[in-house]
Amino acid sequence: MRLGLLLSLAWADYRTEARLSLCAVLALTAVITPLLVLFGLKFGLVTTLTERLENDPSIREVITLGGGRYRAADVAELKLRADVAFALPRTRQIAATTDLSVDGSGQSLTVEMIPTAEGDPLLADVPLPTGEQIVLSQSAAEKLGVAAGERLSARFGRQQNGQVESRQISVTVQAVLPLATFNRDGLFAPLSLLEAAEDYRDGRAVPVFGWPGETPSVPGSRVYPGLRVYAADLDGVESLRQHFAGLGQEVATQASTIAQVRSLSHNLTLVFWLIAALAVGGAFAAVAANTLAAVERKRKALAVLRLLGFPTAALVGFLLLLALYSGAFSLLLAGLLYAAAGAGLNQLFDTGTGEFVCQLLPIHFVLAALATLTCSALAAALGGWRAAQIEASEGLRDV
């Protein structure tokens, strides 16, 4: 039996019963469209929340607590881990402060100093400071009334032999960090500047700035009490927490926030598949009932086809094509309705950030098409089994 003839016969029959065919298409569309919208909401919502977490460096930050003891070699070894995106030692927090003031102004602002280097996630969108350059937080810049390119005086004080001493240097504001990235009064500077401030406050000399004191610290001998560490991805946050726990180092992470989003994704997936299973079951029953009704309605015509020499496989294929035609048209209509509903939902919840509340990838449409056509084919097979029992003699009775 030629496939072309079978296709043309099925299409002619499908058009002849246009109203019944339309009802079958609408019935399937009523099942497919809500599932597409539901999965689009699930995928879009979870994807948006996950991307927000991944794009927020603070979520991937692993903050060391308590008094650690890290040497440069320890930090170098930590950087080699695949789950580490950025690692840099920190000086003592009490020594990592400075008083900033505009040259010629008596007003000063005490800010914290944060070490930075190549690959700092917080400074991804601003130039990296070098030498005596700094990146100033927006809150500090507003309080001091300065902008990028201006110069500030940074003063470092200490108490030596019962006397209060201080030294100052001139620094250049390389850039101003947005408030959304860092919302405290602070500056980002090369680690060498923080080490110089710590040495001076510990009474050691700082030759690079000409500050007097005791014997300068020996390069490589410094012990750092803390680290700035950022995981490479969301999974890395938990693996780093376990790594530091194994070292006896307590850390603070955003693991609970990450777990909440993943729990939401898991729960939404369960809800979706539960609803999808019920809907697919209903769609299967509807297509099967429609195919069985078609067999009974076309029993005489099918008997005549068998009388004309159509084999059983051709009769089954005939009914299968009718179901696939309905499945294909229902997919097209459901896709158009989903596009309209998705666009409306995305516009309704638009926050101006380019995020999508309802979103599906091309692969999702391909999987939906395969699932729909497979369901239609399996349901049609039930009618085909019924058609296979029709004898050619039934066509002779009405001749």
Domain boundaries, the chain: 3-54+260-396
> Which of 157, 139, 153, 138 shows the shortest CA–CA distance to 106?
153
Q: Give mean pLDDT, residues 313-326.
A: 79
Is the CB of residue 31 less than 8 Å from the CB of residue 344? no
CA dist., res. 334 & res. 372, Å (int): 11
Provide, rounded to the nearest whole percent, the portion of the chain with pLDDT above 70: 89
pLDDT, residue 399, reads 47
Please state the rounded mean pLDDT for residues 386-398.
Answer: 55
pLDDT tens digits along 151-198: 999 999 888 777 788 888 999 999 999 998 898 999 999 999 999 999
pLDDT at 13 over 60: yes
pLDDT for residue 106: 66
CA–CA distance, 200 with 206 (Å, rounded to integer): 6
The Cα–Cα gap between 284 and 377 comes to 9
Whether this model's pTM surpasses 0.85 = no
Say what the pLDDT of residue 301 is. Answer: 67
Mean pLDDT computed over every residue of the chain: 84
For 42-56, the pLDDT digits (tens) are 888 888 888 888 888
Sheet with 84-90, strands from edge to edge, namely 84-90, 226-231, 61-64, 251-252
pLDDT of 115: 95
Q: What is the pLDDT of residues 68-103, one digit of tens each?
A: 889 988 999 999 999 999 999 999 888 899 999 987
Written as six digits, the tokens of 201 are: 């406050």
Least confident interval from 51-55, 107-111, 335-339:
51-55
